[in-house]
Structure 1
Amino acid sequence: MDNTIQTFSKNLIILSLISIALTYGLTYLIPENLISSSWPYIVLFFFTISLLVHRYLLKKSGGQHAKFINAFLLTTTIKLLLFLAVIVIYVLLNRDDAIGFILTFFTYYLIFTSFEIISILKYLRTSQKNN
């Protein structure tokens, strides 16, 4: 499991750095109202949430698929509610940046969620082969 967490962490850092580089480059190509000025904080937010959730899921599963499914559904629900709360609070406090924030947040959501799902599927496949 420690190797799985280390591999996930390394790949998550690489994904985050690529996302940062792409976003930084896109800030010069796309109108500034479409990319939120708080994009570095959004990347940090998704990095932290992804790392914490992945570690939690691996520890909770313990190789048992029923526990993993319950933990996955619980964390997914909590994440969605947290993400919705972050969006609503930010938009209410910063109406001028609402469109850019929502677009930026949603883009990072798709990127990091896809990465999480791919990583979880790889983990499940390897754990099934080992059992």
Structure 2
Amino acid sequence: MASGSSILITGGAGFIGSHLLDRLLPDNDVTVLDNFSSGKRERLAGYMGKSNFRLIEADLLQPDCLAEALAGKDMVFHLAANPDVRLGALDPSVHLRQNIIATHNLLEAMREAKVNKIAFTSTSTV
């Protein structure tokens, strides 16, 4: 990935996403999309107001936000997921929606936006 890229990080307010943002932001334009279900706003506080940072508070289960988030992007780092193993064991439909359907929505929106580079991580509980 070249410096000067335009990047979307899903789940960018999470532990890993915020550290990735630390590395990418000095040399790139970065948009973070997060619903703050487990991510923390304070992890992004130091970036608010920077000209090369944008925050979109949205949920990948509501795909209408994705066209705007992906516009002009060169690459996506997909870190958004529900890592709560106990919740998934109690109600597997939570992981189906938040990990599988949300990823499908992102991939479909990337196809439509012609963004063809993705780094897809798993959760911290693998």
Tell me: higher relative CO, structure 1 or 2? Use CA pairs within 8 A at least 6 residues apart.
1
Which bin holds the TM-score, normalised by the shorter protein?
0.3 to 0.5
Greater helix content: 1
TM-score between both structures, scaled by the size of structure 1: 0.36
Greater strand content: 2
| Greater C-alpha radius of gyration | 1
TM-score between both structures, scaled by the size of structure 2: 0.37
